[in-house]
Amino acid sequence: MNSLFALIIGVLVGTGVFLLLSRSIVRVVIGLAFIAYGINLTILTVAGLSQASPPLLSSPGPYVDPLPQALILTAIVIGFATTALILTVALRAYQVAGHDDVEAFGDNLARTVDSDLERADPEHQSPDQPDWEDDTLAGGRSL
């Protein structure tokens, strides 16, 4: 049973690292989620897989330590919130820049900007060219 879990953990983390190294934001987010699932499964496996009683103190018999389950539940909740935040930022970056290429953000030398390309949000410039280049901050204050 432990070798099967080790194989699943290896596949999850390996796939997560492969996706994390890609240039698309969505693939990076999916890669982070795969790595998080692999780590959660690692915590569960290291805590000991047993068929003992559930971590309920009202039932008789040997108890399973509830700490790994509590840690994993907390990690799942934090992971969902982090994933939602990253996807929101990725969506906004796509709306502003018109692409989701991670390597092209903030590096003007990575690719040439085609002025002929139609942007998803034409009112805002890309992260490569901030809105406040003309001596005003994004909030409208002067420098």
Domain ranges of the chain: 1-53+65-118
Model confidence pLDDT, tens digit, residues 4-27 = 889 999 999 999 999 999 888 889
Assign domain 1-53+65-118 to a CATH class: mainly alpha
Give 15-84 as a DSSP string. HHHHHHTSSBHHHHHHHHHHHHHHHHHHHHHHT-----B-S-TTS-S-B--SHHHHHHHHHHHHHHHHHH
Specify the pLDDT at position 142: 47
Query: The whole model's pTM is what?
Result: 0.65
Percent of the chain with pLDDT over 70: 66
Percent of the chain with pLDDT over 90: 34
The answer, yes or no, to whether residue 109 has pLDDT greater than 60, is no
**What is the maximal distance between C-alpha atoms in the chain?**
72
Specify the pLDDT at position 90: 86
Model confidence pLDDT, tens digit, residues 12-71 = 999 999 999 988 888 999 999 999 999 999 998 888 777 666 666 666 767 777 888 899
Specify the pLDDT at position 73: 93
Distances from the Cα of 86 to the Cαs of 26, 80, 81, 91, in angstroms? 9, 10, 9, 9
